Amino acid sequence: MSVQATGWSLIHYPQGLPNADSVRLEQKTLPELETGQLLIRNQWLSVDPYMRGRMIPVKSYVPPFQLGEWMEGGAVGEVIASNHPDFQVGQTVLHMLGWRDLALSDGTGVTPVDPQLAPAQSYLGVLGLTGLTAWVGLNRIGEVKAGDTVFVSGAAGAVGTMVCQLAKLKGARVIGSVGSPEKAAYLTETLGVDGVVQYKTCGDLSAAVAALAPEGISLYFDNVGGDHLEAALANMQENGQLVICGMIDLYNSDGQRPGPRNLTEVIRRRLRIQGFIASDHMADYGAFVREVGPALASGQVRAEETVVEGLEEAFEAFLGLFSGANTGKMLVKL
Ligand code: NAP
């Protein structure tokens, strides 16, 4: 019996901010299930800033999306048919064949998850790569400790909300930067963040950070790059660390942008600066879950989510990442 499935294809590689002309929602007839294959009905899709990098036709740490083919991304769904010995109908699985309603898979990169232990969508957010990114960046790259003053850009986003909470649990003082008063209120009132900069309205960003951290920053967690990285460099304590997780401010820029104008601060202040890719640290997944799982269960860590409903809204949800439409993890519910 043939099955109709629908997914989002990239039509051309966009310049600047992508728009509706860059993509198309397309139906396909899936082939019959062969031996060793399974069919998954997706329930939750992840949209992430790194996907913008896959819309550029150059080799990076993940290959670019192929034009005319359905895009890929994190997804959680239910196995609805299986000719694969390792997967049974009814199982909930995490996999990378997102941006579509039905996924035909040979089992590569498919991991069963337990929806009794945590809500299924958590495996895309707090208990997934998002949470691991925050945990690895803070603990393995940044070596956060009690008494640190941590500055986090993109602080109300998926990774940012986790960084704020995990750093607070370690006994750090946390300063965040966000794009709206609502997000600022959420960070201080709900997550207990110590100070928030509203970067769109604060004027001189570096001065605004200095006012909240007169003692200087010992650890900067960068999700944004650009002006935020410059403001951090200008406020670092001697021997401080900069953890470079992402630079969303640059993802839609045409051509190369110059690096921070004050990079020489790295020498003068004896700073360490290191980028990382969370998926290189899958060996840490167990340690991460052992620490974050109980904190989540006890309510010490909150799983903030912004949920957009329907596959047809998935691209708008993705674009919303660049306009600040999300607090916490941006998810699409099918
Ligand atoms: P996210 O922070 O949930 O979503 C994006 C948020 O960034 C928006 O809500 C918006 O919040 C803010 N933003 C968008 N454009 C901005 C701009 N030009 N200047 C300042 N802020 C801007 O996304 P995420 O998944 O948690 O990812 C956060 C960062 O980590 C991204 O840079 C991503 O690429 C990176 N990342 C890296 C790894 C890794 O392995 N290294 C893994 C996951 C994510 P406001 O309303 O506050 O502006």
Strands 102-105 and 38-46: antiparallel
Name the β-bridge partners of 150. 174, 219
Backbone torsions φ then ψ of 35, nearest 5 degrees = -60, 135
For residue 82, the domain's CATH number is 3.90.180.10
What's the token pair of residue 136? 């690895």
Residues 190/209, Cβ–Cβ less than 8 Å: no
Same domain, 47 and 72: yes
Q: pLDDT band for 2, please (50, 70, 90 cuts).
A: confident
Backbone torsions φ then ψ of 128, nearest 5 degrees = -115, -150
Alpha carbon distance 17, 22 (integer Å)? 10
Same domain, 158 and 264: yes
Q: Is the CB of 285 under 6 A from ligand 1?
A: no
Same domain, 134 and 255: yes
Q: What angle do CA 213, 245, 114 make, to 5 degrees?
A: 115
Same domain, 163 and 190: yes
Sign of the CA dihedral with 72 first, then 74, 76, and 82 last? positive
Residue 266: which of 294, 244, 289 has the closest Cα? Answer: 244
Q: Count of domains in the chain?
A: 2
Q: Is the CB of 124 under 6 A from ligand 1?
A: no
Same domain, 162 and 51: no
Mean pLDDT for the stretch of residues 113-119: 93
Q: Is the CB of 43 under 6 A from ligand 1?
A: no
Mean pLDDT for the stretch of residues 9-22: 94
Same domain, 153 and 273: yes
- pLDDT over 90 (residue 255): no
Give residue for tokens 């919303």.
320
In a domain, 298, yes or no: no
- pLDDT over 70 (residue 1): no
In a domain, 212, yes or no: yes
Q: Is the CB of 49 under 6 A from ligand 1?
A: yes
For residue 155, the domain's CATH number is 3.40.50.720
User: Among the listed ranges 66-75, 93-102, 246-255, 278-287, which one has the minimum average pLDDT value?
Assistant: 246-255
CA of 322 to the centre of ligand 1 (A): 8
Q: Output the residue whose Cα is nearest ligand 1's atom 7.
A: 154
What pLDDT digit, counting tens, does each position of 62-89 carry? 899 999 999 999 999 999 999 999 999 9
Mean pLDDT for the stretch of residues 37-41: 98
Same domain, 175 and 217: yes
Q: Is the CB of 77 under 6 A from ligand 1?
A: no
Same domain, 272 and 133: yes
Amino acid at 331: L
14-19, long-range: CB within 8 Å, 24+ apart, which pairs? Answer: 14/55, 15/254, 16/252, 16/253, 16/254, 17/252, 17/319, 17/322, 18/52, 18/55, 18/252, 18/318, 18/319, 19/319
What pLDDT digit, counting tens, does each position of 170-209 carry? 999 999 999 999 999 999 999 999 999 999 999 999 999 9
Residues 29/41, Cβ–Cβ less than 8 Å: no
CA of 319 to the centre of ligand 1 (A): 12
Q: Output the residue whose Cα is nearest ligand 1's atom 3.
A: 157
CA of 268 to the centre of ligand 1 (A): 29
In a domain, 294, yes or no: no
Q: Which domain holds residue 247?
A: 129-279
What pLDDT digit, counting tens, does each position of 203-254 carry? 999 999 999 999 999 999 999 999 999 999 999 999 999 999 999 999 999 7
Count CB atoms within 10 A of the CB of residue 231: 27
Residue 39: which of 87, 94, 80, 73 has the closest Cα? Answer: 80
Residues 196/178, Cβ–Cβ less than 8 Å: yes
Q: CA end-to-end span of the chain, whole Å?
A: 23
Closest ligand 1 atom number to CA of residue 277:
40
Mean of the per-residue pLDDT values for the chain?
Answer: 96
Same domain, 326 and 195: no
Residues 71/9, Cβ–Cβ less than 8 Å: yes
In a domain, 48, yes or no: yes
Pocket test for ligand 1, best of 136, 140, 159, 282 (most atoms within 8 A of CB): 159
Give residue for tokens 């909150």.
302
Residue 291 makes CB contacts below 8 A (sequence gap 6+) with: 135
Same domain, 89 and 142: no
Same domain, 275 and 133: yes
Same domain, 272 and 313: no
Q: Is the CB of 246 under 6 A from ligand 1?
A: yes
Strands 173-178 and 195-198: parallel
